[in-house]
Structure 1
């Protein structure tokens, strides 16, 4: 069964990179039948029902095992525990699984930790249609006489520097999807990459370097638009500096002093007119 991320990669390779099916099969080690199914169906996820669902015993212990492995890695080399010792300590805490599962998990953890995170970076120069940056900001407005903190979605095309801004009452996943849908409709299409911070509506787990476990529904959205998501390094705002700068500009230009509106619809219509006028005056 293909994971959502692999389906998205196959769709991008075929529709965006124009790669032949034979080459896609070699790159992703899947059959021609599978590739054709992904291309023709247009879906972003395949699912099936199992009669018996296996329960991995190591699953509930991953957090504890991660802590033990991290603590062990910080020790002097001569003081580090072997994997069999780590397994024995985990058993003492109540783990009932076998040693092989712990050994495989530890090997994967060590491999990921050994990757040089410094080698991972986000390019700061872009070709047309290559990438956009996305971020949220919190702004204060007056709606129907009540002072309200609104959540403003910011999208920035990295090459042309064109912007898109829309206000929402919350930062839920539905609002994220709506912001992308409206932004791509406004721009007339999507870019091949999207650059994000590690927002919870998109990223479930942060690993070493650029590796992330993305939320399943967020991956489906990216697969639908043929977008490859890229997450910034934590506390590295310069990797999406364009949209960070946009947040400051929009706040100073549009939200100071506090504007007044009757509804979110009126607010967003006003924002649309203002940011289009600002973009034309600052090409």
Structure 2
């Protein structure tokens, strides 16, 4: 019978993105057993009580303060409140009281050939520069097949910065893929959304420089790659 501590470890390692093969090798458990535990984690973790559950309100507050980092929560509990809770017990409490939301499993998979697709996205980040926290836009370009990644930070991200970034990214990748999926951003889109979106003329001209053309909305809803759920593609001529 698998001990509860090992079941908790399996769930935690899977949440970090570790493969079943690596989890099995690390914990010395068969992949069939791991699959059963992951299929029904509630059944895998029987109902029980913990003497640390009296600290749930404090754990909940620290979880928000530490931005969801359970390791930091454990450190803050010990350093600031002199409360020592084993990490596995802490994560079990978080799951039981729904402090940490379970990650949704992906519904399907996409398979890409080399050179078939790359993905461009932007997201706001808080970065520390010279000891000060400032807002910056993180621009990224990822090759779908190899997951090779190029990122740069910008204080702002207009169409000018977009063209500068993509030019540098294409140079870094030493070429372009036949298709580039981008989120439904006003930097690329001049107006409208979804099927009615109008691509900015200057972005069409930019695409022509790289022997590509801007197509209509991508029919593939790539939720994991394009968080907003709507995408446009630069398709090879």
TM superposition score category, shorter chain reference: 0.3 to 0.5
Higher RCO, Cα 8 Å, sep 6+: 1
Higher helix share: 1
State the TM-score, normalizing by the size of structure 1. Answer: 0.38
Higher strand share: 2
